């Protein structure tokens, strides 16, 4: 464990303070202006109820930082939510602006199929590694990082999602288990000096709140997550929430990214948009899309 003496060791710390930002951005300008980005050595949490797009936002971040023409390193996604081929398909949908549902149900036009296949080929050059395993633990993540990092830099680690993860040892309660997982992910961020983004469920209390607007207290089985994370982003889609009460309500795609905690940026609300067909978050357009 390092022991620092201000009289002898702080020159290096001063040099670190003056360095430009080191980490990754989301690709959503309004969000990046608010939080700066996802810094190396920090754990960030993206949380939302099922269906609101937390996995989509994570994939968008991964795509933004893993392009063939950028040199941030390999984006590493650990998922217990879906298989690798599904992730590949959704990413191709985002890049091609073609519905993955239409592709999988044989409803796409030939032009759309061609565009989708073209982006599938493009994705082969993206710097992305995926571990799709229901048995992922912090230890298996560290083992994979130890294999990857001697050969390639890691641009970010994304874990989808915390409540699906378990430890390989008995723990008194689920809340304590999630707390330990959160602390382990924070430790991975610091020890490997990489941005770690953990996805998390919100509890059902959100659905019974009239506004549907999530709060920090809604983090499901949060344990120490609130303390461990440097940045927390809560996804709120007002019109999607309205559909819970009115089946005929339309989803207009408007999104509020609520930031109740941000150590290196500002708290508040960022307005953007979600295009469900393409599983894509974008800056809020000036005109309707």
In a domain, 11, yes or no: no
pLDDT tens-digit series, residues 179-190: 888 999 999 999
Q: Which domain holds residue 248?
A: 25-282
Quick check: is 10 in a domain? no
Model confidence at 16: pLDDT above 70: no
Mean pLDDT of all residues in 99-127: 95
Q: Is the pLDDT of residue 244 over 70?
A: no
In a domain, 86, yes or no: yes
Mean pLDDT (the chain) is: 87
In this prediction, what percent of the chain has a pLDDT beyond 90? Answer: 59
Q: How confident is the model at residue 226 (pLDDT cuts 50, 70, 90)?
A: confident
- Structure confidence by residue, pLDDT tens digits, 158-174: 999 888 887 777 777 77
Residue 91 lies in a domain: yes
- Predicted confidence at residue 222, as pLDDT, reads 65
Q: Is the pLDDT of residue 39 over 90?
A: yes
State in Å, rounded, how far the first CA of the chain is from the last one. 53
More reliable by pLDDT, 17 or 54: 54
pLDDT at residue 189, rounded to an integer: 96
pLDDT in tens, 183-214: 999 999 999 999 999 999 888 777 767 677 88
Residue 91: name the closest of 116, 65, 54 by CA.
116
Reference 274, options 55, 65, 104; nearest CA is: 55
Per-residue model confidence (pLDDT) at position 289: 42
Token pair 């149900």 is found at 105
The whole-number average pLDDT for the span 246-274 is: 86
Per DSSP (E only), the strands in the chain are: 23-24, 38-39, 43-48, 74-79, 128-132, 154-160, 196-201, 231-236, 254-262, 268-275, 280-283
Answer whether residue 288 is part of any domain.
no
Predicted TM-score (pTM) of the model is: 0.88
Query: What would the mean pLDDT of 104-125 be, rounded to a whole number?
Result: 95
**pLDDT at residue 197, rounded to an integer:** 97
Per the domain annotation, does 16 fall within a domain?
no
Mean pLDDT of 71-77: 92
Number of domains forming the structure of the chain: 1
5 within some domain: no
Given this model, what pLDDT does residue 38 score?
Answer: 95
Residue 172 lies in a domain: yes
**What's 96's domain CATH number?**
3.40.50.300
With contact defined as beta carbons under 8 Å apart, do 62 and 88 qualify? no
């Amino acid at each position: 464990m390092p022991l620092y003496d201000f009289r002898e060791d702080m020159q290096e710390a001063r040099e670190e303070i003056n360095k430009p930002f080191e980490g990754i951005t989301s690709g959503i300008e309004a969000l990046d202006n608010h939080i700066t980005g996802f810094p190396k050595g920090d754990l960030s949490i993206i949380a939302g109820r099922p269906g609101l797009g937390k996995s989509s936002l994570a994939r968008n971040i991964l795509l933004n930082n893993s392009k063939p023409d950028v040199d941030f390193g390999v984006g590493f996604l650990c998922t217990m939510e879906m298989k690798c081929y599904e992730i590949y398909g959704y990413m191709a949908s985002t890049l091609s602006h073609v519905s993955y549902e239409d592709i999988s149900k044989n409803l796409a036009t030939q032009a759309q199929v061609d565009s989708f296949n073209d982006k599938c080929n493009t994705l082969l050059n993206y710097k992305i590694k995926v571990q799709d395993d229901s048995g992922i633990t912090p230890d298996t993540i560290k083992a994979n990082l130890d294999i990857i990092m001697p050969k390639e830099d890691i641009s970010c680690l994304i874990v989808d999602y915390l409540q699906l993860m378990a430890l390989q040892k008995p723990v008194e309660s689920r809340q304590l288990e999630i707390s330990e997982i959160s602390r382990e992910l924070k430790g991975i961020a610091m020890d490997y000096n990489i941005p770690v983004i953990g996805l998390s469920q919100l509890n059902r209390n959100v659905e019974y709140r009239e506004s549907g607007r999530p709060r920090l207290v809604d983090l499901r089985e949060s344990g120490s997550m609130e303390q461990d994370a440097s940045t927390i982003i809560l996804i709120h889609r007002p019109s999607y929430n309205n559909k819970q009460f009115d089946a005929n309500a339309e989803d207009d795609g408007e999104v509020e990214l609520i930031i109740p905690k941000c150590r290196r940026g500002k708290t508040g609300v960022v307005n953007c948009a979600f295009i469900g067909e393409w599983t894509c978050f974008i800056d809020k357009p000036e005109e309707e899309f």
